[in-house]
Amino acid sequence: MSWEEKVRKADPYVAGEQPKDPTFIKLNTNECPYPPAPGVSRALARLAGEREYARNRLYPDMDAAKLVDALAAKYGVEPEQIFVGVGSDDVLAMSFLTFFTNGSPVLFPDITYSFYDVWASLFRIPYVKVPLSEDFAIDPEDYLPSGQLSSFLPAGTEAGGIIFPNPNAPTGLAMPADQVERIIEANRDCVVIVDEAYVDFGADSVLPLTQKYDNLLVVQTFSKSRAMAGARIGFAVGSRKLIQYLKNVKFSFNSYTMNMEAIEIGTAAVEDDAYFRKITARIIRTRENFKRELRAMGFTFPDSRTNFVFAKPPADRMSAREMFGRLRGKHILVRYFDKPRIDGYLRITIGTDEQMDAVVQAMKEILA
Amino acid sequence: MSWEEKVRKADPYVAGEQPKDPTFIKLNTNECPYPPAPGVSRALARLAGEREYARNRLYPDMDAAKLVDALAAKYGVEPEQIFVGVGSDDVLAMSFLTFFTNGSPVLFPDITYSFYDVWASLFRIPYVKVPLSEDFAIDPEDYLPSGQLSSFLPAGTEAGGIIFPNPNAPTGLAMPADQVERIIEANRDCVVIVDEAYVDFGADSVLPLTQKYDNLLVVQTFSKSRAMAGARIGFAVGSRKLIQYLKNVKFSFNSYTMNMEAIEIGTAAVEDDAYFRKITARIIRTRENFKRELRAMGFTFPDSRTNFVFAKPPADRMSAREMFGRLRGKHILVRYFDKPRIDGYLRITIGTDEQMDAVVQAMKEILA
């Protein structure tokens, strides 16, 4: 057999376009339109100092204790309840590997974050996609052993794990905390992961429930509400037991992942809670204004609690695909997924008020 | 089944002790005693600027083009021949996943970098450990189909891949380039990975051979010779084809890993070749002096071409384990592995001249 026949062949994920041209309004990857907390700039200036920059010669603190302590203080949990990683993708992949590789199928929605089935395949985890309702909602009944759960599982199997984003992506819809708790409470025999990448934009977090349920893992990211996609920081909160299992797996094959710079600037970001609240409130306000404009133009959309809106152009006027192309022609980038059930929608990131005004103006011109 | 029964249980790797107490002389994790290139400090100061730090709100360049271009220029290869990752551990793990998961056994030395068998187990890759010779050398004959190779393989199988560090760790011994080439040339039917983490301290690199053999992958790191363990940067060089396969697998499940800071400061480090040559030459000089002192005290050791020496205390005087403890008592940290064949040795990182003088002085006192 030749060496090429022995190689794993994979299809790379195609991320939203990253234009070099600065005239583009970039609303296609759910980035934050505002800079990170000013303390991040000060932390970088400190890191440039003679003694500090020299610390790069040493391995970073593999426990990232400084960042973990800041997160523990912010969320009112013990440091031993926190796991940090290189973006929430790293944290989630590690969680799949730790909690879902027991041979039983893991369940997640059919329309959801696109990496779940990729990680499942990579780690050879059987999985079941649970269809969202017609209006894109997650129905908690579908995940309850007393409800529809068994109808989704192969005969004789039990759930090996459950994961869903709340709010879900790319729909933007959030479940209230009591509905999420029903799912967790009814599934104490497997780990339930709630992926809260977008929770800071007005949805309920179940992070406090990690004190009550030792099988609950809540995953969050610095890439959206903390405006730090460039720094690659994600974290998980759970019971001490859960986090210890996660750390044991992670440290069994890679001791050092988060670099010294990420630990320092991530800490600075967490420490400025006032700035965090200010920019998330601003994005929520801009989003609600944008929803009103969309509605007035005849768009329909699930009621987003995220930093994006998943919107369908007025059906009699224009397809999502065409609107996507026409917006691009006006140097406005949004996201279009050419996939069943969602190919009628555009995922539009919430930018600044000025950017959203420009989008509305462009849409009006296109629809005119 | 309870959720805990469904969890993967792993034993975390125990890294060399990282003391908080600054009075320790830390020669236990093969870090560089000198700071990174001064350009790294300037890059951090630039990153702290108002416009630059704000770029953290955006996802980093997933191709890390700036860093890749700098490496391509330095090593005289095309950018398409370079893959970068979060430390060489990330690059190596990704390479195992891409090149070695074909079901055939991968071969590596029995005494070598401790993560090879961990990654193989993680990805369910069968592997064979090929014993080093009595004097810790890798015998190229053991890896040749015309030599001993088949005696190590299960009947009816062919090699699924080969990996070894050159110089090897923790022995420090290097193979000349022509011997490494014999192994590559004789194994065109699988990928051969040469892990050159320590190559810059006086060994032959086979990086230029990537232009000749499309099945050769050379992996290097910024953690040792570039004094940047804290920044987590590693890279691989190979044929365009090989690198494309690696990228496809990596991008199939995690688009963004290296943060913006690592890309910028890594580039600054590569661009200062004079500094790089200066500090590696200095470490080599210190190492050769240290070898003379060790020899005078009756230590024996393989002839290291790395930034550490793997040394056995004079057997009639003291065991390695005892020497390790006694040095620690004098606040000098070295590495001791309680494993068959190597438990008589200490791995001592090369620090500054002053640090090595202190080590020699301490050893003399201990042996007296």
Q: Does A260 touch chain B (CB under 8 A)?
A: yes
Nearest CA in chain B to A216: B3
Residues of chain A numbered 219-238 and touching chain B (CB < 8 Å): 223, 227-232
**In whole angstroms, what is the distance from residue A196 CA to residue B360 CA?**
55
Q: What number is the average pLDDT over the span B38-44?
A: 98
Token pair 């590997």 is found at A97
Strands (E), A27-176: 82-85, 106-109, 127-130, 161-165
| pLDDT for residue A4 | 92
**In whole angstroms, what is the distance from residue B222 CA to residue B228 CA?**
5
Per-residue CA distances from A154 to A122, A138, A282, B82, B204 (Å): 21, 21, 46, 44, 56
User: Does B22 score more than 90 pLDDT?
Assistant: no
Contact B83, B236 (CB under 8 A): yes
CA distance B47 to chain A (A): 7
User: Does B90 score more than 90 pLDDT?
Assistant: yes
As beta bridge partners, residue B217 has B193
Using CB atoms, which residue from B12, B41, B87 is nearest to A48?
Answer: B41
CA distance B16 to chain A (A): 10
Q: Does A135 touch chain B (CB under 8 A)?
A: no
Q: Does B31 touch chain A (CB under 8 A)?
A: yes
Binned at pLDDT 50, 70 and 90, residue B94 comes out as very high
Which of B62, B92, B253 is the mutation pick for testing A, counting most A CBs within 10 A? B253
What is the per-residue pLDDT across B124-143, written as a single tens digit (0 to 9) for each? Answer: 899 999 999 999 999 999 99
A19: preceding bond cis by omega (within 30 degrees) = no
| pLDDT for residue A286 | 98
For residue B207, give the H/E element and its range.
Answer: none
Strand A346-349 to strand A335-336: parallel, antiparallel, or no bridges (unpaired)? antiparallel
CATH of A17-36+274-367, picked from 3.90.1150.10, 3.30.420.40, 3.40.50.720, 3.40.640.10, is: 3.90.1150.10
Across the interface, do B35 and A54 touch by the CB < 8 Å criterion?
A: yes
Residues of chain B numbered 101-130 and touching chain A (CB < 8 Å): 101-102, 104, 115, 118-119, 122
User: Does B41 score more than 80 pLDDT?
Assistant: yes
The per-residue DSSP string of B155-190 comes to TT---SEEEEESS-TTT-----HHHHHHHHHHTTTS
Nearest CA in chain B to A234: B257
What's chain B's average pLDDT? 96
| pLDDT for residue A58 | 96
| pLDDT for residue B158 | 93
Residues of chain A numbered 286-315 and touching chain B (CB < 8 Å): none
CA distance A360 to chain B (A): 23
Q: Does B332 touch chain A (CB under 8 A)?
A: no
**In whole angstroms, what is the distance from residue B255 CA to residue B333 CA?**
38
3-state secondary structure of A44: helix
Residues of chain A numbered 66-105 and touching chain B (CB < 8 Å): 86-87, 89-90, 93, 97-99, 101-102, 104
Domain ranges in chain B are 21-36+274-367, 38-271
Contact B85, B234 (CB under 8 A): yes
Nearest CA in chain A to B37: A54
Residue closest to A336 by CA, chosen among A355, A322, A321, A358:
A321
CA distance B364 to chain A (A): 28
| pLDDT for residue B339 | 93
A335 phi, psi to nearest 5 deg: -110, 135
Q: Which residues of chain B does A189 touch, with a Cβ-Cβ cutoff of 8 Å? A: 1-3, 6
Contact A43, A267 (CB under 8 A): yes
Secondary structure of B54-123 in HEC code, one letter for each residue: HHHHCCCCCCCHHHHHHHHHHHCCCHHHEEEECHHHHHHHHHHHHHCCCCCCEEEECCCCCCHHHHHHHC
Residue closest to B87 by CA, chosen among A341, A254, A2, A186:
A254
**In whole angstroms, what is the distance from residue A18 CA to residue A28 CA?**
9
pLDDT > 90: percent of chain B: 92
Using CB atoms, which residue from A36, A99, A247 is nearest to B56?
Answer: A36
Which of B59, B84, B185, B307 is the mutation pick for testing A, counting most A CBs within 10 A? B59
Q: Which residues of chain A does B36 touch, with a Cβ-Cβ cutoff of 8 Å? A: 53-54, 56-57
| pLDDT for residue A101 | 87
Nearest CA in chain A to B87: A257
Q: What is the CATH class of B38-271?
A: alpha beta
| pLDDT for residue B285 | 98
| pLDDT for residue A346 | 98
Contact B124, B107 (CB under 8 A): no
pLDDT averaged over consecutive 10-residue blocks of chain A (368 residues)? 90 81 93 98 98 97 97 98 97 96 94 95 94 97 96 94 98 98 97 98 98 98 98 98 96 92 98 98 98 98 98 93 97 96 97 98 96
| pLDDT for residue A71 | 98
As beta bridge partners, residue A332 has A25
Buried b (16+ CB within 10 A) or exposed e, B306-330: bbbbbbbbeeeebebeebbebbbee
Strands (E), chain B: 25-26, 82-85, 106-109, 127-130, 161-165, 192-195, 216-221, 234-237, 308-311, 332-333, 335-336, 346-349
Using CB atoms, which residue from B13, B55, B102 is nearest to A230?
Answer: B55
How many other β-carbons are positioned within 10 Å of the β-carbon of residue A324?
24
Q: What number is the average pLDDT over the span B221-230?
A: 98
Structure ipTM over 0.90, yes or no: yes
Q: What is the CATH class of A38-270?
A: alpha beta
Q: Which fold has domain B21-36+274-367?
A: Aspartate Aminotransferase, domain 1 (3.90.1150)
Across the interface, do B15 and A62 touch by the CB < 8 Å criterion?
A: yes
Across the interface, do A99 and B252 touch by the CB < 8 Å criterion?
A: no
3-state secondary structure of A310: strand
